[in-house]
Amino acid sequence: MSEAGSLRIAGCHYPAGSAAGQAAELHVSADGALRLEPGGRALGHWRGLRVPERLGRAPRVLGLGDGGGFETGDNAAVDACERRFRGRVAGGRLHALEGRWTIAWLALAGLGFSIFAGFVWGIPALAARVAPWLPASVVVGSSEETLASLDRHVLRPSRLPAARCEALEATRARLAARAGLSGGRLECRRGGAFGANAFALPSGLVVITDEFVELGGDDDELAGVLAHEVAHVEYRHGLRQALQGSLLTLGAALLTGDLANAGSFIAHLPVVLAGLHYSRDFEREADARGAALMRAEGRDPRALARALARLEGAARQKERPAAPAWLSDHPDTQERIARIEALAR
């Protein structure tokens, strides 16, 4: 039996460079000297061992100084020796965290909150900081590429009178100057599958479709729509949406890295929904800024609300039901109108 203060650890000894192990005991004396039994070979001091961190109940292989190993499932004895001869247990704090269910449930709650906070505040803030650093040439080039691609596949040349389009461009230029933006231009196109629509690309390029102009809105309404698009450009929403999409994908990959096959598809769904959420936030921001730009121009800030109502009325005539709010890249139209009215008051 053991002398006072000494300890025996049962396990399996592997000599250096060989898998031929032997059942053995590691005798640890009160001052930390090691002896292997059977055989009685001295193995130096405990502090000379390479001790892996504790991990659940999994056995550990202690690295001996001579390249051999000693495998043992007696984690308590190993930790006791670590505490006594090294003063601390490597990874002991982690093991303590991982050992308790209370901590696990707290960690779960903390994780839920962290994901929520990262999604609501972290990612948008990071993207807003990074967006201004992207080189202008990339932004302009990619926007032109996007328009060229849309021209090939969806859009057709505009049939509006040239004067109408030029007037709209003049309005856009005034609004852009008011927002402190230089450059950018307006393009008129027949929308095709896009229908009545207007959108902005990161370089400042704004596209409005004939169908939108032909809805019959007055000049203020169209200016309101252009102000909304200029606001998207001013706040770099296109870039930020792309960046936030990348960050979301990265975050999801980090969290669900071990999901495979069909599981990865299911894991991708939250990323899509979160992306749509960001898009709706940008639309609200652009509505508010657009209204402010209109007011600064001395025009009616409610004009965009009227344009939206007209757009929705046209859609209703065609009996096209609206998408569920959580699946749309724009907020509910009635909500947007109410917000703009409230801002204009």
Partner 1 sequence: MLPPASCRAPYDDFEGLSLVPLDNAPDRPPAPPAGGALPPLSGPPPRQPHPPGLPVAAVPLRMRVQFHGEGGEFFRIWIVNLLLTVLTLGIYSAWAKVRTRRYFYGCTSLAGSTFEYLAEPVAILKGRAVLAVALLLLYASLSMMPLFGAALLVGALPFVPALIVSSLRFNYRVTRWRNVAFRFTGSYGGAAVAFLLWPLLGVVSFGLLWPKAIQAQRSYLLNHVHYGNAAFSADIPLWPVYGCSIVASVLLGIVTAVATVLSGLMLARAGLRPQSMADLDHWQLFALVLPTLAYLFGLTLSAAYYRAALRNIVLADVAIGDGHGLRSHVSVLDYIAFATGNLLLTVVTLGLARPWVRVRTARYFATTTTIRFAVPAGAAMAGIAAVTEAAGRRGSTLGDAAGDAFDWDLSL
Nearer CB in complex with partner 1: 124/301: 124
Minimum distance of partner 1 from residue 264's CB (angstroms): 11
Contact 203, 243 (CB under 8 A): no
**Distance between CA atoms of 109 and 292, rounded to whole angstroms?**
40
Nearer CB in complex with partner 1: 147/259: 259
* Chain position carrying tokens 């409610």: 302
Minimum distance of partner 1 from residue 9's CB (angstroms): 6
Cα three-residue angle 243-245-249, rounded to 5 degrees? 120
Q: What is the dihedral of CA 69, 75, 80, 86, to 10 degrees?
A: 40
Nearer CB in complex with partner 1: 253/292: 253
**Distance between CA atoms of 47 and 33, rounded to whole angstroms?**
9
**Distance between CA atoms of 111 and 117, rounded to whole angstroms?**
10
Nearer CB in complex with partner 1: 25/297: 25
**Distance between CA atoms of 80 and 8, rounded to whole angstroms?**
12
Give the distance, in angstroms, between the CA of residue 48 and the centroid of all CA atoms in the same chain: 45
Radius of gyration of the chain measured on its C-alpha atoms: 33
Nearer CB in complex with partner 1: 110/161: 110
Minimum distance of partner 1 from residue 280's CB (angstroms): 12
Contact 276, 240 (CB under 8 A): no
Minimum distance of partner 1 from residue 118's CB (angstroms): 7
Nearer CB in complex with partner 1: 163/262: 262
Nearer CB in complex with partner 1: 40/180: 40
| Strand 41-45 versus strand 33-37 pairing type | antiparallel
Minimum distance of partner 1 from residue 108's CB (angstroms): 6
Contact 308, 193 (CB under 8 A): no
Minimum distance of partner 1 from residue 301's CB (angstroms): 26
Nearer CB in complex with partner 1: 2/334: 2
Which SS3 state, helix, strand or coil, does residue 214 take?
A: coil
Minimum distance of partner 1 from residue 296's CB (angstroms): 31
CA-to-CA dists, residue 67 to 15, 42, 43, angstroms: 8, 14, 11
Minimum distance of partner 1 from residue 21's CB (angstroms): 5
